[in-house]
Chain A
């Protein structure tokens, strides 16, 4: 525009009040309205029109190397920051590539919004190029999904998607957007921008605040219990409830177990912390639950990896179940008291009621129970045998050294397998949101992209991925993303040359008939591979080198680092409850088996004498 003459007034008022956008611009603007700072994505035909306005947007786009990576990065980001992770991919094969992360986020209740391109509306149903029924395919792996059919519906749909993803029990929401409604060349894709004030979700009203009667009933059980255990799950982290939990545990003097999804929700170094229960939980956590007379399930869902044989799980315990999802109450174990609501709000109300009843002064004496528990801790700690001279490394040792040489608020991500269990067991999690793993779906390949997402969201924190050689080969290409996008994650690759967890099951339950589990140490050459992807890479085979290399890696802040630790091939994860078995039959480390058998024999004699007396 040139010249100083005032333009005619009609035009002025039009340009100032009119705010016409096309669907693509509206989508990006809606993401900005939702305070999205980073999108993990990958372009393609159907989503192309949206990638044009991205150039001018006030948000960062991270170009991944495989759409599965985009999904897991969004999850890692969400786990670490508490904010919803966002990924964006095109139609067809890209949409099917994000199905795994969606399923992962669904099972672990991760808030995530996934935007998929779709073929133009008139082409839907014609088997068009790169068409797939994305909303149909993802229906059972999302909390909700949308197929948007009009450009002007985009802002409201995005708002609803974020609302659903982040409230109640969080989860993934997918928004499928046909190409024509975001196409800048389509006159029908233009509309007057408006950010909706109200949501139109008449069927969605998560209940955050529990009923007073239920809180009171819970307090009654807590006051009456002699052997209570706080069985804490991922819901406490989702509800940002770590502080309220600390207060609850300390006020009531009740021991805490943190499930695989809740590691870090309660500090491992706390004297009330018993660590992880379940299939590879430690003896004390498993046994305390089995002997308890009250299980306070807090944001946990009685997963089969925790309960083992359900009928034999905590047989003498009453159950108070706190969970925001009504469907979790009674799904596996019928609770005596059911408290439906947000875990943080529920614990705050619980703490208040406990104070009303005179706690902490009026707290029942829990010392007999506490003593019994610490007896188990002394007798059956986690243990392993350090490798002999010339032997390869023990994975447990590597994790201990990583733990001790890294800052205490380091964020640890893991893949799935033995290394995951060792990481959960041997790391000391003293801060919430420092442990990120795929618990429900058990997705191999999770750790590298999740670590990248976590580091992108928390750039000032150290992020270590603890990975297996099998897992590494599933998603290693995302290290290219990390190098190019300057997201300096660190990968500890525990190379045991096997699909170790499967090998362990074959060793224990298939008479050592090892079938299709050997990967080999040398191919691929992990150091060369990592270097080719723009990482600094090291290989460690000797116990004496471990510390120095970790220290070196911890000093590198401008590039991703990979350390390949050559680990023992035959290490097994103990303790272990065989699948479907009772937690009472937990198998401990072979070095502790004689002691455990002696204890069990003595207990059996005592029980028999009790009966005859």
Chain B
């Protein structure tokens, strides 16, 4: 299975006008030209006129340069940044319900603690956990959980921003990990 951390994947941070149908235009373009989307996350930015779409693309389906150029032809797309794992901060959130009979429950709780995740709900035979962090960390967590039996799992797809330029002192850097 392809993972978001693979080299064949690339993250695009796309600033779009916050207008009806923009997401459909982006999705249509990928479908029509045969480009694969690995994950997609959309939300408004601090400016209500714009939203940011973070798309992880499969660059084996088409050269990244073509994907970016075709995307940029969409009138509502204002800016596209290509983010490599090296110059971006990336985060993703996962929630999962895991089989947790009494015999294995403590092991799962231990795993959640090691990964600094959270326990959201506990039932007689299952437990729902959440974890946010770098996509690779979530990949690892998911792999380890798999042995216990995953009932349901949902990941948000990653969001990303470029790393700040550390040579310039920026107060907001505090808290960026």
Residues of A within 8 A of B (CB): 135-136, 139-140, 143-144, 147, 164, 201-204, 325-327, 329-331
A201 to B77, CA, bound (A): 10
The 9 A-B residue pairs with the shortest CB-CB distance, nearest first, are A327-B69, A203-B78, A144-B75, A203-B77, A204-B75, A202-B78, A140-B32, A326-B69, A327-B70
Determine the residue in chain A with the shortest Cβ distance to B76: A203
Q: Which residues of B in the span 59-86 have a Cβ within 8 Å of any Cβ on A?
A: 63, 65-66, 69-70, 72-79
Residue ID in chain A nearest B73 by CB atoms: A327
- A388 CB to closest chain B CB (Å) equals 51
New contact pairs (13) apart from A164-B75, A203-B77, CB-CB < 8 Å: A135-B21, A136-B24, A139-B21, A139-B25, A140-B29, A144-B75, A202-B78, A203-B17, A203-B74, A203-B75, A327-B72, A330-B63, A331-B66
* Interchain nearest-CB distance for A121 vs B (Å): 12
Min CB gap B102→A, angstroms:
50
Within 130-174 of B, Cβ neighbours of A (below 8 Å) are at none
Q: Could you mark each residue 1-33 of chain B with 1 if its beta carbon is under 8 Å from any beta carbon of chain A, else 0?
A: 000000000000000110011001100110010
Q: Select from chain B the residue with minimum beta-carbon distance to A171.
A: B73
Contacts of B79 in A (CB 8 A): 203
Residue of B21, B24, B75 ringed by the most chain A CB atoms within 10 A: B75
Q: Across the interface, which residues of B come within 8 angstroms of A147, CB to CB?
A: 20-21
**Measured between C-beta atoms, what is the minimum distance from B39 to chain A in Å?**
22
Q: Could you tell me the distance between the alpha carbons of A331 and B73 in the complex, rounded to whole angstroms?
A: 14
Chain B residues with a Cβ closer than 8 Å to the other chain, count: 22
Check if B75 sits within 8 Å of A330, measured CB to CB. no
**Residues of chain A with a CB closer than 8 A to B78's CB:** 202-203
A-B pairs with beta carbons under 8 Å apart, 29 shown: A135-B21, A136-B24, A139-B24, A139-B25, A139-B28, A140-B32, A144-B75, A147-B20, A164-B75, A201-B75, A202-B17, A202-B78, A203-B16, A203-B74, A203-B76, A203-B77, A203-B78, A203-B79, A325-B73, A326-B69, A326-B72, A327-B66, A327-B69, A327-B70, A327-B72, A327-B73, A330-B65, A330-B66, A331-B66
- Chain B residues with Cβ below 8 Å from A139 are 21, 24-25, 28
A203, A325, A326 interface centre (most CB from chain B within 10 Å): A203
CA–CA, A143 and B24, complex, Å: 15
Q: Which residue of B lies closest to A329 (CB)?
A: B69
Chain B positions within 8 Å of A203 at CB level: 16-17, 74-79
Residue of B nearest to A143 (CB): B75
Measured CB to CB, the closest approach of chain B to A400, in angstroms, equals 42
Q: Report A-chain residues with C-beta under 8 Å of the C-beta of B63.
A: 330
Nearest-neighbor residue (CB-CB) of B20 within chain A:
A147
Residue of B nearest to A325 (CB): B73
In the assembled complex, which residues on chain A have CB atoms less than 8 Å from the CB atom of B73?
Answer: 325, 327
Q: Which residues of A contact B70 (CB under 8 A)?
A: 327
A168 to chain B, nearest CB (A): 9
Determine the distance from Cα of A135 to Cα of B17 in the docked complex, in whole angstroms.
17
**What residues of chain B lie closer than 8 Å to A136, measured between beta carbons?**
24
Q: When the two chains form the complex, which single residue of A140, A327, A331 contacts B28, counting CB atoms closer than 8 Å? A: A140
Chain A residue at minimum C-beta to C-beta distance from B29: A140
Residues of A within 8 Å of B20, CB to CB, are: 147
Q: State A331–B75 Cα separation when bound (angstroms).
A: 20
**Complex CA distance for A143 and B75, rounded to whole angstroms:** 8
Cα–Cα, bound, A204→B72 (Å)? 9
A170 to chain B, nearest CB (A): 13
A83 CA / B48 CA spacing, docked (Å): 36
Q: Which residues of B contact A330 (CB under 8 A)?
A: 63, 65-66
Query: Which residues of A have CB within 8 Å of B25?
Result: 139
CA distance A331 to B70 in the complex (A): 10
Which residues of chain B come closer than 8 Å to A144, judged between CB atoms?
Answer: 75
The answer for the CA separation of A204 and B75 in the assembled complex, in Å, is 5
| Residues in chain A near residue B29, CB distance under 8 A | 140
- List CB contacts (< 8 Å) of B25-64 with chain A: 25, 28-29, 32, 63
Task: List residues of chain A with CB within 8 A of the CB of B75.
Answer: 143-144, 164, 201, 203-204
